[in-house]
Structure 1
Amino acid sequence: MPDTATREAVVIADVHDPADVHGVHAAEGHSRWTCLARRTGLHGRWEAVEWAWLPPGGVSGEHRHSRTEEVYFVLDGRGEITLDGRAYPVHPGSIVLTGLGRRHGLRNTGRQPLSWLVIEIPADAPTPTSTKDTTMDDSPHVSHAVVADLRRSGPVDAATVLTGPLRTVRVTRLLPRGTAELAARDVEHTVYVTDGAGTAEAGATTVALAPGVSVTLPLGTAARVLAGDDGLEYFHAVLDVPSGEEHQ
């Protein structure tokens, strides 16, 4: 399991000691997994923020989401996501938003390991009965889902597909010595470093940032992100926490 700590109410985790998993979603074979943040300790309706890994040829079995919605963000490797029986290629930077009632699975089609982030969120609505096609960039139409290159498309509004509280997902690139201010007011943030190095300052706590490090800001906290000499890139997701709906 990851080396996870809570300092000044900020949740810090990394992917350097994942668990081995066999038969994920009823598929044969070996995979790796670690939880970066979970509902406990947060106020918003997160289910979990996770990191997952498949070897070449590995499969995360197809399954239907009857209660939650899910976001995949591909970090490394190449693969194929199946959405309701149709296959779509994915690569580093690909984001997949899968709505309630959809069925999906993932296969590593490359020669290198495939790794990706998973954000799972409880849905707000029953399984949809109408179809809604959303296309980003040159991606094909997918019912109640989005497949996009997040680095090319820019920020994605998750509310265009998902019914739950997840809002903006983006990739942020800071120039060398650049800074970004994150404040968890009516929202919570999760950040995962994909490239470069730097620090995150939250109150009296300073966290070293490097690829594989995650920082999650619960409601009422704030952090200043500072890039190092070579810049810093991170995946960033924002979840609404409406007043009166907070929970532990």
Structure 2
Amino acid sequence: MRSAVVVADTGTPADVHGVPGAAGVTRSACLARRAGLAGAWEAVEWVRIPPGGVSGEHLHTRTREISVVLAGNGVVTLDGRPYAVGAGDAVLTAVGTRHCLRNLGAGALERLVIELPAELDGDALVGSTVIRDLRRTGPVDPSALLGGPLRLLQSARLASRERAGHTADGVEHTLFVTAGSGRAAAGDVRVPLRPGTALTLPLGSSADLAAGPDGLEYVHAELVAEGAAAADG
């Protein structure tokens, strides 16, 4: 297995001013992009919307979007239908959907956003939806709703000192730490884990996670890599 791993965090986000249709200064950090990955990722991003802020209404014409609310609460509108959302909720946005997000809370609304390339070809199986509290519902298969290669979305938790391994065998993984602490080992690479740290595992790599004394919580997404056969050959 390869020891490659993409490490990023939210420590130095960009301030985004004057986005059309948006209100307030949004902060964002790119955690991973398509470059260096075999799977059909567009981007993995962390986004922070200030109190009263808005992510302006727009039409998804070339991407599917899967987002998980990490903190705060607000209202997401999917094709004109409003849904209240809070920490732990996931929003699955199909290609062809028009949506916007308003922060209605007293604090910042933070979310993890995964975008995947798509075409307006009617391949979404069900369409856009809100999934309540991933921490309680358990693993979700976004492809069953949206089509596409993202086959797993979950909120994972390791108890104090517990360990878990992730192997990118035919798939690629992205993980975003939401609480607790720990360490990841990928070959000879050691990565301290804390809230705001993201790991993305390219095809053919692996990482072992070890939770700290306070446990470790993270959002985990798994994408089937179409380049798997070529890489194996």
Distance 2:158 2:20 in 1: 37
1:46 lines up with 2:41 in the alignment: yes
Give the TM-score normalised by structure 2: 0.93
1:16 aligned partner = 11
Instruction: Tell me how far 1:39 sits from its aligned partner.
Output: 0.3
1:192 aligns with one of 163, 176, 190: 176
Gaps of 5+ in 1: 1-6, 133-142
Aligned length: 229
2:56 aligned partner = 61
1:82 lines up with 2:85 in the alignment: no
2:198 aligned partner = 214
2:121 aligns with one of 113, 121, 126: 126
Distance 1:55 1:164 in 2: 31
Contact 1:25–1:62 (CA<8 Å) still a contact in 2? no
Residue 55 of structure 1 aligns with an amino acid whose one-letter code is: P
Contact 2:24–2:50 (CA<8 Å) still a contact in 1? no
1:115 aligned partner = 110
Matching of residues 27-46 of structure 1 within 5 Å: 27-46=22-41
Distance 1:49 1:24 in 2: 19
Distance 2:130 2:119 in 1: 18
Contact 1:123–1:162 (CA<8 Å) still a contact in 2? no
Q: 1:168 to 1:95 in 2, by over 3 A?
A: same
2:154 aligned partner = 170
Q: 1:145 to 1:245 in 2, by over 3 A?
A: farther
Say which SS state the counterpart of residue 132 (structure 2) adopts.
strand
Contact 1:191–1:237 (CA<8 Å) still a contact in 2? yes
1:150 aligned partner = 134
Say which SS state the counterpart of residue 191 (structure 2) adopts.
strand
Give the TM-score normalised by structure 1: 0.88
Query: Alignment RMSD, CA only?
Result: 1.8
Say which SS state the counterpart of residue 156 (structure 1) adopts.
coil
Instruction: Tell me how far 1:52 sits from its aligned partner.
Output: 0.3
Instruction: Tell me how far 1:89 sits from its aligned partner.
Output: 0.8
Residue 230 of structure 1 aligns with an amino acid whose one-letter code is: D
Say which SS state the counterpart of residue 121 (structure 2) adopts.
coil
Contact 1:168–1:239 (CA<8 Å) still a contact in 2? yes
Instruction: Tell me how far 1:29 sits from its aligned partner.
Output: 2.5
Contact 2:125–2:146 (CA<8 Å) still a contact in 1? no
Distance 1:25 1:46 in 2: 25
Identical aligned residues as a percent: 53
Contact 1:70–1:118 (CA<8 Å) still a contact in 2? yes
Q: 1:150 to 1:24 in 2, by over 3 A?
A: farther
Say which SS state the counterpart of residue 146 (structure 2) adopts.
coil
Deviations 1:27-78 (A, max 9, x none): 2331111100000111111000000011100000011111110011011111
Contact 1:175–1:232 (CA<8 Å) still a contact in 2? yes
Residue 164 of structure 2 aligns with an amino acid whose one-letter code is: A
